[in-house]
Chain A
Amino acid sequence: AQSVTQLDSQVPVFEEAPVELRCNYSSSVSVYLFWYVQYPNQGLQLLLKYLSGSTLVKGINGFEAEFNKSQTSFHLRKPSVHISDTAEYFCAVSGSNSGYALNFGKGTSLLVTP
């Protein structure tokens, strides 16, 4: 089965600074990778996903992620964060041997301060 490790449980950053949220995955089969965001008291919203093709994926709200097969990573980046980006971010993986269910990482709490 596939699994995901989010390397940072909390990431504090100042407003307008760049940020990178790290995600590593493990799988013996081809995988599909996702980043979701969860704002307080809400469900999850898809930021972006990688299925195949270009390894640089652009998502909503100015986020992007790069798929690196050799390093089994799918790190999320944003060049300049806003206060409103404060939320919990989840990396997830799915693959053919898990019935395409999403396996989530533990999440990274992004805290943006002025």
Chain B
Amino acid sequence: KAGVTQTPRYLIKTRGQQVTLSCSPISGHRSVSWYQQTPGQGLQFLFEYFSETQRNKGNFPGRFSGRQFSNSRSEMNVSTLELGDSALYLCASSPTAGVGETQYFGPGTRLLVL
């Protein structure tokens, strides 16, 4: 099976702009989670979607949003970009996000905000 794919891999934006990142989960996986990775804060959970519904959300401002489509593909959007949003954004998928289920990570999208 193909792994988790994320597009684009690299992105440069300027402050105030908005950005949309895309994630295609492993075939058959219905849960998609997003994480932000920065040198200062480490890996932080953004949100998780299952069957097009947001089931869980981390402690991020409302500028960060996401959605999931019927084919389980997911997008996350960041509006009004700030310099501090520069990070590696990782997407992970799992079959159902059940107890102890393994999350499979994509390679990430590296976002640089200037």
Contacts and interface: CB of A to CB of B under 8 A. Distances in A.
Interface string A35-59: 0100001111110010100000000
B106 interface: yes
A104 B100 contact: no
A101 interface: yes
B45 interface: yes
Interface residues of B, number: 25
B102 interface: yes
Contact of B56 (A45, A101, A105): A101
Contact of A99 (B42, B55, B108): B55
Given A43-B106, A44-B105, A100 B97 contact: yes
9 contacts: A36-B105, A43-B106, A44-B105, A99-B55, A101-B45, A102-B35, A102-B103, A104-B42, A104-B43
